[in-house]
Amino acid sequence: MKRHKIIVGNWKMNLTVPESTLLLERLVKTIKAEKTEVVVCPTSLAIYSAQEIVRTADIKIGAQDAHFEDSGAFTGEVSAHQLKGFVSHSIVGHSERRKYFGEGDKVVAKKAAACVRHNITPIVCVGETLHEKQDDLTKLVVAGQLEASLADLTGDEIAKAVVAYEPVWAIGTGHVCDSKVANGVAKNIRNLIKVLHGAKVADSVHILYGGSVDELSAESFLKEAEIDGLLIGGSSLDFQKFTEIVNLAEGRVEPKSKKSNTKKSVPKPKNTKKKK
């Protein structure tokens, strides 16, 4: 099945509302997406103004998170119900939410279901830590997170959802995941969905890769058969870099992959055994 590419920019806790407005106005002028779905996720403060700016552009607005309750005594939270009509997508289960706010798979599952309930496409994030990778637990960890995080969705709902493989050890660290390895994880994700919900659902769901992706490394991931797009962090804050990544997804420009890549390789586990 032919799936279109999706490029998502996660701005995280960066940019004021005026700064977000300026960046979006630049992106509106430079991004032309004919066959690629482009989603930008600013802070919740900037969502309303952002949605107005991109109303006639080839860009959609997403949220960085969404609470699973529609309303209530949850100080500081923003619900999927409140986001409805302003965003097309919402990231849920990002490793930073899991790590810093203690969100487990059950919470992620409830958030994904809330998004679907309010016609928002969930971008469900899964990924292993460095220690889990070094212990060769990637497949087990990702499978466990995936099954639990999608537990409250039906097969038809999963088919319309997005899964993002974001190895924790590659997010904001400069460490780069080999595109072939990432494609292998994406294939495992699709195979698990196939086992649980059937081939039609597995063929329909979009699987993205995220983790220190920039305009230099994007092409290698976009060429992989099982990777349907990218979840971009830091590079999405630079309108030139983000635009170039979108153009790569569109097949519109020559890649810069021939340039030297200075990213760090993944650290290998230390051998603590003493030599005899």
| Catalytic residue set | 94, 166
**89 DSSP 8-state letter:** E
- Quick one: which of 211, 220, 221 has its CA closest to 259? 220
Distance (Å, whole) CA 82 – CA 131: 38
The tally of CA atoms less than 13 A away on the side-chain side of residue 229 is: 26
Q: Is 132 left (phi over 0), alpha (psi -120 to 50) or beta?
A: alpha
Which long-range contacts link 190-196 to residues 24+ away (Cβ below 8 Å)? 190/226, 192/143, 192/146, 192/147, 193/146, 193/150, 193/158, 196/147, 196/155
Of 166, 211, 215, nearest to 186 by C-alpha is: 166
Instruction: Give long-range contacts, CB 8 A cutoff, 24+ apart: 258-261.
Output: 259/216, 261/176, 261/216, 261/217
Determine contact, residues 161/197, Cβ cutoff 8 Å: no
